[in-house]
Amino acid sequence: MSNVLVTGGAGFIGSHVADALLQRGHRVTILDDLSGGFRANVPAGAGFVHGDITDSPLVDRLFADARFDYVYHLAAYAAEGLSHFIRRFNYQNNVIGSINLINASINTGVKGFVFTSSIAVYGASPELPMTEATPARPEDPYGIAKYAVEQDLHASRAMFGLDFMIFRPHNVYGPRQ
């Protein structure tokens, strides 16, 4: 049984990830500020911390106390189409908050980090279908923020050995949305 943190676990995708992890017997803690999710989405059996990933002292304490094995980072402010107007907020939440989690993961020996990026990193790519070989060409601050975190994860693996996986969902829908 692994000890797993799910950021954004009160949100649409994160709550389903937490469900799946619990069903597989893992210990799950959810960190969510409830800005885009609902407390009712937190699965029974998961621990819940009401907090913000941009609060680095909180993140550092949580990681030091819990000693997570894995992190599923689904917390984000989905700002596609708005990010031009909320640049500081976008970068603070989507870059600085993510870097807080990456730093804490490195400092506490997390075994694996799963990052939820976005199809926005491709921009208006004319290449269809898109594949992992499609070059990133983010065109707005949201896509730039997501791509910056992807690049930091690559650097973190090279410098510190942090194992990670990135997925880039697009147009997801379903229960708890």
> Which residues form the catalytic set?
142
CA-based end-to-end distance of the chain: 29
Report whether 141 contacts 92 (CB < 8 A): no
What are residue 84's phi and psi, to 5 degrees? Answer: -65, -30
The Cα–Cα gap between 108 and 68 comes to: 8
Report whether 112 contacts 165 (CB < 8 A): yes
DSSP secondary structure string, 35-66? SSS-GGGSPTT-EEEE--TT-HHHHHHHHHHH
